Amino acid sequence: MKDRANPYLQGHAIDPVGIDGDQSVTELVDRCFFAYNAGRLRDACGLFTKKMLEEHVTIGLGVTGALTPAGLGRSCMLPLMRAAFVDWIVSTGANLYHDAHRSLGLMMHRGQPQVDDIELRKHDVVRIYDILFDYKVLLSTDEFFRRIIQEPEFQREMSTATFHDLCGRYLLERERALGLPEGTSLLSASHIERVPIYTSSPGDSSIGMNVAAQELRGNGLRLSITRDVNETAAIVREANRDGQTGIVILGGGSPKNFLLQTQPQIQEVLGLEDVGQDYFLQFTDARPDTGGLSGATPAEAVSWGKVDPDHLPDAVVCYLDTSVALPILTTYALARRAHRKPRKLLDRLEELHDQLKSEYLAHQPDDESAD
C-alpha cells in the first residue's frame, strides 16, 4: 500500500510475482522489471506505448551502431515501421548498407568474437564482433549500388531520403526476382511503407563511398545534406502544428543529433517560434561525464531548445544494450497497441519543404529576404 502522508513513497510497491516460465514478455516487464535499468526499460515501454503511440504523435527513429547486421532491422525496425510506430528515420549509412545484403540474398552468419582475425582475412571472412560473412558480400553489394546509381533517375541532386527511396525500389525488384519476401530490408520496406530514411553523414559508409567513386566517372548524383536539414525540420514543424513529436534513439552519435537539431534549425536558425520534442526515449551505454553521450542528455537538450521543458518528465534514458532492449520494446508495443494510420511522409516531402520555405521567407526582414 502507498504511504499517503509521504510524497516520496507514492510509487507502486516492489512486490514481484515468481517467474514460472509462463509469463509473456509484457507480463515480465510489468511484473518483474522494477529497478535499475530493468526499471528504466519498463519506463521506456510505458512511455512509448501509453504516450508516444497516440495518433497525434509523429515519431522519429535514430539508428546507430551495427544493429542491422545483428538482425535488428528485420526483427524489430521493420515491424515497427509496418505498424506505423515509426514515421521517419535517421540512420548511419552502414546500417542501411549491411541490411541491403538481405534483399540481395546475401547472408551473414553467427560466429564467436574470440577468433583470429588474421586467419579470417586469409579466408576472406569479415567480422563484426560475433557476426561473420564472406568478403564477396561486400563486393556484390558494392556492385549493386554502383549499377543502380547509373540509372537516369539518379542523375540529379536530391536528399538522402529521396536517394534511399530510389534504392529501395531497386532492392524491392531484386527481392521479387529472387523470390524473397517483399520488404526484407529497411530500404525496400521504407519504399513500400513510404517512410523517409535520412543519413546524417552520407559519405561515412560503403554506399557513400560507391557514390563518390561514380562521381569520379562523371555520374550526376549529388546528395544534398542541406536539403536533408530542411526536410527534417519541415517534418517536425508540420507535426507540431496540430500534434506532438517524439524520438526513439538507438545509440547516439550523428543520427541522434540530426534528429534533435530539427528544433534549433526551426527556432535558432530560421527564427520561427516552436517548442522542442515532446517525447524523448534513448537506449545507450555511453556516459555524459566523458562526453560520450553526444553532449545531450534530455535535461541538456532543454537548454538548446531541442526538448520541450514542460515535457521533461516524458524523457527516458535507458542505459542498456540496444540488442537486448529493442526486441523487448518492440514486442511490448505490438502487444499493447493496435497499428496506427501510416503518415506516408515520403510522399509529402516536397510539400512540407516548400511550406517551411514560404514560412521562413515570410518572416525575414526585407533586406534579408531571398530574391
User: For residues 108 and 125, what is the distance between their CA atoms, to the nearest angstrom?
Assistant: 10
Q: Which residues contact 319 (CB under 8 A, 6 or more apart)?
A: 37, 40, 284, 285
pLDDT at position 303 is: 72
- Sign of the torsion formed by the C-alpha atoms of 25, 41, 64 and 200: positive
pLDDT at position 180 is: 97
Cell of 280: 524523448
pLDDT at position 294 is: 57
pLDDT at position 1 is: 56
pLDDT at position 313 is: 75
Helix (H) or strand (E) holding 346: none
For residue range 150-207, list pLDDT tens digits in order: 999 999 999 999 999 999 999 999 999 999 999 999 999 999 999 999 999 999 999 9
Whole-structure pTM value: 0.92
All structural domains of the chain: 21-104+155-206+215-360 (3.40.910.10)
pLDDT at position 371 is: 46
Cα 246 versus chain centre, distance: 12
Residues 146 and 212 sit within 8 Å (Cβ to Cβ): no
Counting as low any pLDDT under 50, the low residues of the chain are 369-371
User: For residues 93 and 201, what is the distance between their CA atoms, to the nearest angstrom?
Assistant: 7
306 counts as catalytic: yes
Tell me how far CA of residue 66 lies from CA of 92, 137, 205, 266, in angstroms: 9, 16, 12, 31
- Sign of the torsion formed by the C-alpha atoms of 103, 104, 105 and 109: negative
Catalytic-role residue among 306, 341, 344, 357: 306
Which segments of 62-158 does DSSP mark as H helices, in order? 72, 78-82, 93-103, 117-122, 135-148
**Are β-strands 279-283 and 244-250 bridged in parallel, bridged antiparallel, or unpaired?**
parallel
